Chain A
Amino acid sequence: MADENAPSDQQITFTVKSSSDQKHAVTVPRSMTVGDLKQKLSTSDYANIPAERQRLIYSGRVLKDPDTLSTCKIKEGNTVHLVKGAESNQRQNPANQGGSAVPPGAGGSPAGNVPQNIQAGTGAGNPLAQLTGARYAGFHGLPGADMFGADGGMGAPPNPENMLRMLEDPNFAQQMNEAMNNPAVIDMLRNNPMIRDNPMARAAIENPELRRMMMNPDMIRMQMQMQRSMGGGAGGAGSFPMPGQTDNTPPAENNSNNTSEGQTGRTDAPPNPFGGAGGANPFAALFPGAGAGAGAGAGAGLGAGAGAGTTPGQNTGAEGAQQTPPNPFASIFGGGAQGQGQGQQNNPFQAAAQQLMQNPQMMQQMMQMMGGGGAGGAGEAGFNPFAGMGGMGGMGGQGEQAAAPDNTPPEERYAAQLQQLNDMGFYEFERNVQALRRSGGSVQGAVEYLLSG
C-alpha cells in the first residue's frame, strides 16, 4: 500500500502464473494497461496464448483490459494468475481455431466463441451445418469426416454408401451425442433467428428427446433407405440435402415430378413409395393416410402450399393423420408428412427442420398453416413426449380450419421440460410451470427466470 504514491512510470516486477504451472517473471511499467500486458504475454516468450483468450486474475479479481497495473494495485513480487479463457469448448473445435467468426473480446456473451449469428459462414441458415462442419472434422478421427458438408472442403454431399458406413461407426453416434449434449451447440441452434422466432421449432430444439431423434443414426439411415427406394428425380445424394449443404434451391426436376403426380392421381406411381407403393413401404405406418393424400401433399409441400390448401387430397391426408392416434409417430409425421412435401425430402425430421429453415417463405407459410391445421395435431398429442412437435403434424392441413385454442394444461404441455427442471433440482411445481410459461417452454429460459427469482 505504501508504494501507491510511486510515480506511475516506475517499473514493477511480478510473476505471472499460468494454468500449466509455468511462471513468467514480468517487468513492466506501472502505467501499462492490462490489455497491453496481455499483448506482451501473448508472445511465444511468455504464455503464447492469444490476448483475447487470456484472463488475468489478481487478488480475487478478473483484471479488465483498460485498467492500468497501478489501478489494479499490483505490487512488486506479487503473483497474477493467467487463465486461458472461456473459449467455450475448445475440445470441440481443435481444427477450427481462428476460423470461427468470433469477435475478439466478446467475453461477456454466453459461449463466447460460438457463432451467434448462424448466417455467418458457409452453411448459411442451416443450423445443422454447424454440427457437422469443420469443427468436428478430425475429432475422434472418425472415418472420412471430411466427407461432411461444404466446410469440409467438398462440394458434393457424401454418397449413401459412405454415409451408411459412417453411421455404423460408434464414434459417430458418440460424437453426435456429444454435440447434442453440448449446451453451446444447443444455444447456437436456439439463437438461430429461424428457430428463435418460431415457438414450434424452438420446442423441438428444447426437447432432448426430439433432438436425440433428429441426430439418431437410425433415423438418418431410415431416411436413406427411403431415398433409395425412391429412385427417381434427381436421385441419390442430390435430393438429400446433407447438413452442410448450402444449396437451398430444391431440385426443380423432382419438384415438378411430384406435383404432376399429384394432379394426375399417381398414374406412374411405382417409383414413388408414397404414391401407392404403400404396402411395400416399411414406413407406411409412419405416414398414415399416405396412400390417400400423398400426391397432393407432395405437391403442396413444395412451396405451392398456400394455394393447395383446398385440394381434396390434402384434406384427406390431414384427416388420416388425425384419425390414427395410437401410433406415437403419427402426430409427428401425420399430416405434416404429407403436406410438408415428403415427396421431395424423405426424412420427416430433416425435412421439417431443414427445408423449412432454409426457406424463409416456407417457414412463414408453415406458421400460417400451423394456426389452422396445427391445432388438431397438438391437441391429440397431449401425452406424447413429442408434444412440441405435435403441432407440426397438422401443419400440412388446410388453412381454412379455424384455429382451436390450445387447451392442454401446462403440466401436460411442458411435461418433458418440467421433468427436466425437476432433474435440475427445481422442485417447486407452480413456479416451474410459471417459469416455463414465461419462457415459452424453454428450459433454459425457465432456469434463468427461476434463478433470477
Chain B
Amino acid sequence: MSAKVPRNFRLLEELEKGEKGLGAEACSYGLDEGDDLLMTNWNGTILGPPHSVHENRIYSLKIHCGPEYPDSPPDVTFISKVNLPCVNPNNGKVDLSKLPSIAQWKRDFTMETVLIEIRRNMAAPANKKLPQPPEGTNF
C-alpha cells in the first residue's frame, strides 16, 4: 500500500495548483482566508459551460474541507443561485451522491474534480436547458 499523502500536503498541493492556474480552465479555487492554516474554507468558481443556459455565467461556491478530507469528500455549497437537481434549492448545498462519477468518493479526487463534475452536470443534456434564476442572485 502506497503512502497516504497527509491532508495538509494534499491541500497545499491543491492550493498551488489553484493559484497558479495549472488546472482546468473553467474552474478556479483558492483559500477563503489566506492565513487559514488549517486550509478548511475555500472558494470556488465555475464558468458556465458553453451551449447551455449557464453560458457566460460565473458561479461562486464555498468548499469546506473538513479534517477528514481527502478521505471524505468536501462540503460544497453554491453561493450563486442555481437550479440543478444535485443542488439543494434552499441552501445551495451540493448533493455529491447525485453526481454519478463522484458519488463513490475516492481519496484521489480533489476539489477540482468536484468542480469539474458539477460543471459537467450543468452541461448534461437533462440540465443544460433548465431555467435558471437571474444571474447575480445568491442563496
Contact = CB atoms under 8 A, between A and B. Distances in A.
Are both chains from one complex?
A: yes
A209 interface: no
B90 to A, nearest CB: 4
Nearest to A88: B56
Given A17-B21, A17-B25, A61 B43 contact: yes
Contacts of B113: none
Contacts of B29: 59-60
Interface residues of A, number: 44
Give the size category of B's interface with A. 35 or more
Nearest to A78: B19
Given A81-B25, A107-B136, A453-B90, A60 B30 contact: yes
B43 A60 contact: yes
A442 to B, nearest CB: 12
A205 B126 CA distance: 25
Nearest to A23: B21
Contacts of A55: 58
B56 A59 contact: no
Nearest to B129: A181
B136 A59 contact: no
Contacts of B44: 60
B131 A183 contact: yes
Contact of A86 (B32, B35, B43, B58): B58
B134 A59 contact: no
Interface stretch (A133-141, A285-293, A444-452): A444-452
Given A75-B19, A81-B28, A83-B58, A60 B134 contact: no
A61 B60 contact: yes
A59 B89 contact: no
A21 B24 CA distance: 11
B133 interface: yes
A449 B57 CA distance: 21
B98 to A, nearest CB: 12
B131 A73 contact: no
Given A86-B56, A424-B83, A448 B133 contact: yes
Given A111-B135, A183-B131, A447-B131, 15 more contacts: A4-B34, A19-B47, A59-B29, A60-B28, A60-B30, A78-B20, A79-B22, A87-B56, A107-B136, A112-B135, A444-B131, A447-B83, A451-B90, A451-B133, A452-B90
Q: Which 7 A-B pairs have the closest CB atoms?
A: A59-B30, A79-B21, A110-B134, A60-B43, A108-B136, A60-B29, A453-B90
Interface of A: 1, 4, 15, 17, 19, 21, 55, 57-62, 73, 75, 77-81, 83-88, 90, 107-112, 183, 424-425, 443-444, 447-448, 450-453
Interface of B: 18-22, 25, 28-32, 34-35, 42-45, 47, 53, 56-58, 60-61, 63, 81, 83, 85, 89-90, 130-136
